[in-house]
């Protein structure tokens, strides 16, 4: 990095940068020198802030500031020129230095940290506690090593392993080591209500010598008092739900936790939601997010997760949107490369196809259903009505202000495809056209169960599951059932009953209630009755069966009504998949939201 004197001289300024690792922080030091004159960093920053092109090096000489290769560096340093920086900023600083071809020196500890940051397997493997009950697979040991790397350096991250690879057991193994190697504050695990008892059961199974508590129900105040008291036998792990956090965060944020773990962390993907605000207000020494789907629809969700894990790492959302999200949307590859380089050390993602060689194959099958004349006539009638109203509104208000109308129109079309009886405000609802898809489902189940297989049937519509149940009951078929109204404790009982009872061949499950936290390896067939364009959610549901413990080939069916919006949704699903792949896995393009072209496509005949 060279500065040139205002007068014609060959004077140069040498910049010496030192990076030194400390406890959870590092020193970022810059020394500038020219003709034996020491230049303070503050004087350079002051000149830049005042929009000056030169900086004084002695009483009679000035030197030009080469802004083009210095500005990025000065932005990182900040207006105060702080030397002590959070350790998680190290990748950003190093990347900026290397991008601007600025040389730097490090001490041995910082150099070792950078090696571990780029390849955590280079550090000494974590030795699991002798009290851990169970055997980890090779990739799970690797995951524990990565979690321990974050723990040792005071970093945070997202364990984003594919669904069904055991994120819970990896987190528990690391937490056991953590709580057995020092006197700690309790660690708080926040999860959806539907899986809180799964966490408790897994903890009792694999880490039985740790102490647990449930922050639920009317006993919450008693547990709070117990945590606040000194030497009162505080629990090692406390389990609670996002719903409870939303209610009690004003109280909980006054309590210091050791680890704060978010399971199914995509629950805070909307940074403006009360749930996201609540968990971000809590105090903890370490933070960890578990999510098989850290990006479902748009990159703002990834920003929200990092805003919880390491505030300021990706800047404000406005800065993130300007520097990364919007450029990536229009295909600027350099922006996606920068973002991927920044977040890569703090996201660990392994796919089942990469690490779980013992897992049996999965076959995805599209089963097309041809509507009869009556159902097609009704579909075209609804399509014409929705299209006319919707595009008239879009022309007047714009797409952004018409989102609710878009969703409402799509909902009606999907309901016709599933079963016309789902339509609301229709006269003579009992005389509506029959559902070809429902008939196809009954035929499939009859054929599959005759061969001795067990089936999971998912639908997003509880009303559709009700109609399916009525058909089952007419035929005298046994089945299990799960939707959001089933109490968490009872969920496990129904799951165990289905897995163990050979005489119960079908499990009917609402997609929202059953997409996470269930181990249903008793089934080897999965049927998605109705598609939606978030493939990650459907994959989560499928992986209730295609996960560790499954020994049979899994067949995953999607029932699609031919020539309808359902078929077009399959095309848009790929765009949503590409969004996550862009940052976490590959370089493919993305789509942020539905465009006018998307809507023209969806509502075409």
CB 72 within 8 A of CB 97: no
Q: What is the pLDDT of residue 539?
A: 81
Nearest to 110 by CA among 16, 15, 29: 29
**Structural domains for the chain:** 4-114 (no CATH), 140-355 (3.40.50.10810), 362-602 (3.40.50.300)
What per-residue confidence (pLDDT) applies to 398? 80
Angle between helices 220-228 and 242-252 (to 10 degrees): 40
d(CA 363, CA 555): 5
CA–CA dist 459, 415 (Å, integer) = 11
**Unique residue bearing structure tokens 């006993």:** 219
pLDDT of residue 108: 80
The alpha carbon torsion through 311, 315, 317, 320 (nearest 10 deg) reads -130
In this prediction, residue 480 carries a pLDDT of 94
- Which portions of the chain are predicted below pLDDT 50? 1-9, 428-430, 586-592
Specify the pLDDT at position 395: 85
The pair of three-digit structure tokens given for residue 495, joined into one six-digit string: 């799951």
pLDDT number for residue 6: 40
Whole-number pLDDT of residue 592: 34
Half-sphere CA count of 450, side-chain side, radius 13 A: 6
| Letter string b/e over residues 515-533, b meaning 16 or more CB atoms within 10 A of that residue's CB | bbbbbbbbbbbbbbbbbbb
Please give the Cα distance from 236 to 188 (Å, whole number). 9
């Amino acid at each position: 990095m060279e500065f040139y004197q205002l007068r014609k001289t060959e004077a140069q300024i040498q910049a010496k940068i030192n990076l030194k690792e400390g406890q959870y922080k590092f020193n970022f030091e810059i020394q500038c020198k020219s003709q034996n004159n020491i230049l303070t960093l503050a004087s350079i920053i002051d000149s830049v802030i005042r929009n000056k092109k030169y900086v004084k090096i002695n009483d009679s000489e000035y030197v030009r500031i080469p802004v083009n290769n210095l500005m990025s560096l000065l932005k990182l340093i900040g207006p105060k020129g702080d030397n002590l920086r959070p350790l998680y900023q190290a990748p950003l600083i190093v990347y900026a230095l290397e991008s601007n071809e600025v040389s730097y020196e490090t001490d041995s500890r910082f150099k070792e940290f950078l090696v571990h940051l780029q390849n955590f397997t280079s550090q000494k493997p974590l030795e699991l506690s002798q009290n851990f009950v169970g055997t980890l697979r090779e990739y799970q040991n690797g995951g524990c090593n990565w979690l321990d790397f974050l723990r040792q350096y005071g970093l945070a991250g997202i364990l984003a392993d594919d669904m069904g690879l055991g994120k819970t057991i990896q987190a528990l193994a690391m937490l056991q080591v953590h709580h057995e190697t020092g006197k700690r504050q309790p660690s708080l695990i926040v999860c959806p209500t539907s899986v809180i008892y799964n966490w408790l059961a897994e903890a009792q199974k694999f880490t039985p010598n740790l102490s647990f508590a449930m922050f639920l129900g009317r006993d919450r105040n008693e547990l709070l008092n117990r945590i606040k008291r000194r030497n009162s036998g505080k629990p090692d792990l406390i389990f609670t739900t996002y719903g409870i956090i939303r209610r009690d965060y004003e109280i909980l944020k006054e309590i210091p936790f050791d680890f704060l773990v978010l399971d199914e962390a995509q629950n805070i993907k909307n940074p403006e939601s009360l749930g996201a605000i609540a968990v971000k207000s809590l105090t903890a020494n370490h933070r960890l997010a578990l999510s098989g789907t850290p990006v479902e629809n748009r990159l703002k969700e990834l920003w929200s997760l990092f805003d919880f894990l390491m505030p300021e790492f990706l800047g404000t959302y406005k800065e993130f949107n300007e520097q990364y999200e919007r450029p990536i949307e229009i295909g600027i590859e350099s922006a996606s490369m920068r973002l991927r380089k920044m977040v890569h050390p703090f996201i660990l993602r392994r796919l089942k196809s990469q690490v779980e060689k013992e897992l049996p194959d999965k076959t995805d099958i599209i089963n097309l259903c041809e509507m009869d004349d009556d159902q097609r006539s009704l579909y075209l009638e609804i399509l014409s009505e929705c299209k006319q109203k919707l595009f008239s509104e879009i022309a007047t208000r714009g797409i952004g202000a018409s989102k609710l109308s878009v969703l409402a129109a799509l909902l009606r079309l999907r309901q016709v495809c599933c079963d016309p009886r789902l339509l609301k405000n229709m006269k003579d609802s009992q005389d509506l056209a029959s559902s070809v898809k429902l008939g196809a489902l009954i035929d499939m189940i009859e054929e599959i169960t005759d061969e001795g297989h067990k089936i999971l049937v998912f639908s997003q519509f509880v009303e559709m599951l009700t109609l399916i149940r009525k058909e089952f009951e007419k035929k005298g078929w046994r089945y299990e059932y799960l939707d959001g109204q089933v109490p968490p404790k009872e969920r496990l009982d129904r799951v165990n009953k289905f897995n163990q009872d050979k005489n119960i061949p079908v499990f009917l499950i609402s997609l929202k209630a059953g997409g996470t936290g269930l181990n249903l390896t008793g089934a080897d067939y999965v049927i998605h009755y109705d598609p939606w364009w978030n493939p990650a959610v459907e994959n989560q549901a499928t992986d209730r069966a295609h996960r560790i413990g499954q020994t049979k080939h899994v067949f995953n069916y999607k029932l699609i009504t031919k020539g309808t919006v359902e078929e077009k949704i399959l095309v848009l699903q790929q765009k949503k998949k590409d969004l996550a792949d862009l940052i976490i896995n590959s370089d493919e393009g993305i789509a942020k939201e539905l465009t006018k072209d998307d809507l023209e496509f969806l509502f075409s005949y």
